Copies of this chain bind each other. A is one copy, B any other.
Amino acid sequence: METFNVAIVGATGLVGQEFVKVLEQRNFPVASIRLLASERSSGTYLFFNHHKIEVEKATPKIFRDIDIAFFSEGVDITRRLSPLATEAGAVVIDNSAAFTMESSVPLVVPEVNPEDIRWHEGIIANPNCSTIQLVVALYPLHKISPIKRVVVSTYQAVSGSGAVALKELTNQAQLILEGHRICPHVYSHQIAFNVLPEIDVFLDDGYTREERKIVEETQKIMHTEDIAISATCVRVPVYFGHSEAVNVEFTSPITPEEARKSLAQAPGVKILDDPNVSFYPQPWAASGSDHIFVGRIRKDISHPNGLVMWIVADNLRKGGALNAVQIVEEGVRKGWISSKRRSVV
């Protein structure tokens, strides 16, 4: 069996640690693993399959024996370190936004565009968390009737901002429950018991970069610029799990029953949809799961060709580490990624 020398770059972050967990849980064929992080974290230890592994500072030499490098770092560090990895012959799966929109880099969700893995030149980009869960649910429906327009409003967990944001939500909630005032650090304003319509920076057109990512990434992954999308991305005081209220306009009408039937067979999707017993996806319950959960599927009563859905997924797993590992699994299965240091095209 083909095994791989794996590196996780940014191993001490939330998504980095999720990589460790996902590789273990899926019995990914790891020959060796190196856990890389900034100087600050080097010398600490993490566990992989009950082995204590030292966290190291990333150096050019370190990538010499690596087959697969999972990157989960900021854009700047990624831009600096990823060439070292690719020059050493490793395949980089990048979770940052550094390469997502570069035309020479495939942006892949295995349930949607696995064939794009084939043309990678050493780097494959992992989409943004809020895009991944959206396209996994949209794509099966798009195949029934091409999608013309999507309006999406998100309810995004603080874990998307890293471990420091989890701490901030906890601290603020505690202080407020004790009657104190709080001072925001990670976010512009209080996040506990509040919602903030600001994720990533604001752009000139009034949208945030997070909102634009959903548009551009969806179009790239689904190979069409004919899907018009408007997003409002909102941070909510939830630890794990992004939720999305999604209105979809198709070329021709799709009934909720057709949508349900199609999504029931779709890879990676699980339908939770029985209003009679208040059964629908919730972020709290989706946390730790591999699925994209879809519920509240109903006709969009404001448009003859419309459907409305409620989509929830664990933003660190399918929205991050899991999707990246699935990209490699699919690439290996098809022979587009191999352990011989050069991908077989």
Give A contacts to B, CB under 8 Å. Answer: 149-151, 153, 155, 169-170, 173-174, 177, 188-190, 193-198, 202, 205-208, 215, 228-230, 232, 234, 236-239, 243, 245, 247, 256, 275-276, 278, 280-285, 295-303, 306, 308, 310
Contact = CB atoms under 8 A, between A and B. Distances in A.
Contacts of A298: 205-207
Given A193-B238, A296-B206, A151 B198 contact: no
A276 B188 CA distance: 11
A293 to B, nearest CB: 11
Which 6 interchain pairs have the tightest Cβ spacing?
Answer: A206-B298, A202-B275, A153-B153, A188-B278, A228-B302, A230-B302
Given A194-B238, A282-B194, A283-B194, A149 B299 contact: no
A306 B236 contact: no
Contacts of A281: 197
A297 B151 CA distance: 15
A232 B296 contact: yes
A202 B302 contact: no
A230 B300 CA distance: 6
Contact of A193 (B229, B247, B284): B284
A74 to B, nearest CB: 20
Given A205-B299, A299-B206, A243 B284 contact: no
Given A177-B170, A232-B296, A195 B243 contact: yes
Nearest to A188: B278
A255 to B, nearest CB: 11
| Most central of A174, A230, A299 by chain B CB within 10 Å | A230
Contacts of A256: 206
Contact of A302 (B151, B189, B195, B239): B151
Contacts of A302: 149-151, 228-230
A306 B230 contact: yes
Contacts of A310: 197, 232
A296 B197 contact: yes
A186 to B, nearest CB: 12
Nearest to A285: B189
